[in-house]
Amino acid sequence: MRVTTAFNRLLRIRGASVSAVSITDTDVEVVLRPRSRRLRCPCGQSVTATYDRARRRWRHLDLATRRLWLVYEIRRLRCPDCGVRTEQVPWARPGARHTRDFEDTVLWLAARTDRTTVATLMRCAWETVTAIIDRTVDELLDERRLEQIYRIGVDEICYRHPHKYLTIIGDHATGTVIDVQPGRGLDSLNVFYDQLTTDQRADIEAVSMDGATAFRSATEAALPDAAICYDPFHIMQWTNRALDEVFSAAVATNRADFDLSSGQWRKARTALRTGAERLKPDRQELLDTITTQNHDIGAAWRLKEQLRQLFRIKHPARSPRYLRRWIQRARDSGIRPFVHLARRLEHHFDGIINTIKLGITNGLIEGINAKIRLINARGYGHHTAESLTSMIYLMLGGITPKLPTQR
């Protein structure tokens, strides 16, 4: 069997055949020639003549211990519509110096380990891995991801200190990241909304968020008909902070009434924050002692537990009345942190009720943020937003790179 025949059967390069093979101690060069004589411009126009040629090499998957290169005289074409264009080869992406099989293998590995390991295994530079990820993600990211969204979630994440943020937009239906914008706040979210067509904006019926004023302002301006939903976790976080203020103020004012060591103080604070149904007997006893000794702490703790029940109502239609009554009780309590909290919840009243009626929380986006922190830590930090964004799309954007052996 001839060497060229053997390499044709081994490599199966689409659109070309092997015409020559050169083997050295470190490399194998496979020279290709096109199977078809017809020339076609990347725009689809059939072209009759070649403008010029240039020898080019593409790095392919290693053959045993040797690096394998595909060599081809790539042609430039004079298209009547586009002018002079470089032909596209089926074994590599436009502008790439690596074959599709090589790049797909890099993507598959990058989604599972750090770039240094990928570069060592593939015997290429670390910068090459980054360039492949950045370039191929743009091609593989499905532009149709923005066409069928109706419930989305918005949150921000700090990926590098000081104050380096990304705004993350996720799709509740697919559980994927549909857009990432550098920065945070009004401008970052507006950039995403500006990408959408009028019909795409009209399709969005609900947006979940954490109560940030900037996110709310941008959403109300761009999506006036969409329901804003505030995450219950953040609502209870506000409530626990108000409860902490009441507890700290009471202990500071009446220190003699509270014989608490530093360890007991932390246990008491944890007991106050813990849901009543999850308290252990010793914590329940400590809680009963504290709430009995101080009226404000007892009243604040009961208000916290009553607000927790809001998100467990079996009939969502009753939630507006329940929340209004809770806000009034908090105001009547005279406890300053809860009076302020009541004012805040009244300002976010519609968003809280929308959360209960639609059953939408920001848990999806919080889970995505946790995965992004893992991606960032595994890469030992990312110096640019673009580099981290490419990894987010690769792992969380619905892209599923496959190895050449999986096709």
65 CB neighbour count, 10 Å cutoff: 8
Distances (CA, A) of 83 to 38, 52, 200, 399: 18, 13, 36, 34
Give percent of the chain above pLDDT 70.
97
Show the CA angle centred on residue 179, arms to residues 177 and 182, nearest 5°.
Answer: 120
Mean pLDDT to the nearest integer, 346-373: 93
Q: What is the pLDDT of residue 132?
A: 94
DSSP single-letter state for residue 88: P
**Chain segment 161-173, per-residue pLDDT in tens:** 888 999 999 999 9
Say if residue 68's pLDDT is above 70. Answer: yes
Mean pLDDT to the nearest integer, 226-247: 94
Q: In the chain, what are the domain boundaries?
A: 1-91, 143-230+362-406, 234-358
Q: Judge whether 356 and 313 are in contact, CB under 8 Å.
A: yes
Kindly report the average pLDDT of the chain as a whole number. 90
**Chain segment 258-267, per-residue pLDDT in tens:** 666 666 778 8
Q: Judge whether 60 and 68 are in contact, CB under 8 Å.
A: yes
Say if residue 95's pLDDT is above 90. Answer: no
Say if residue 140's pLDDT is above 90. Answer: no
What confidence tier does 400 reach under pLDDT thresholds 50, 70, 90? Answer: confident
Q: What is the pLDDT of residue 145?
A: 82
**Chain segment 362-371, per-residue pLDDT in tens:** 989 999 999 9
Say if residue 311's pLDDT is above 90. Answer: yes
- How many helices (H) and strands (E) would you count in the chain? 16, 12
Q: For 174-231, where are the alpha helices, taking DSSP H only? A: 186-195, 198-203, 213-222
Rounded CA-CA distance 288/280 in Å is: 12
**Chain segment 294-306, per-residue pLDDT in tens:** 889 999 999 999 9
Mean pLDDT to the nearest integer, 328-337: 95
Highest mean pLDDT, choosing among 128-142, 218-232, 240-254 = 218-232
**Chain segment 314-323, per-residue pLDDT in tens:** 899 999 999 9
Q: Judge whether 98 and 132 are in contact, CB under 8 Å.
A: yes
Q: What is the pLDDT of residue 381?
A: 78
Looking at the domain 143-230+362-406, which fold is it?
Nucleotidyltransferase; domain 5 (3.30.420)
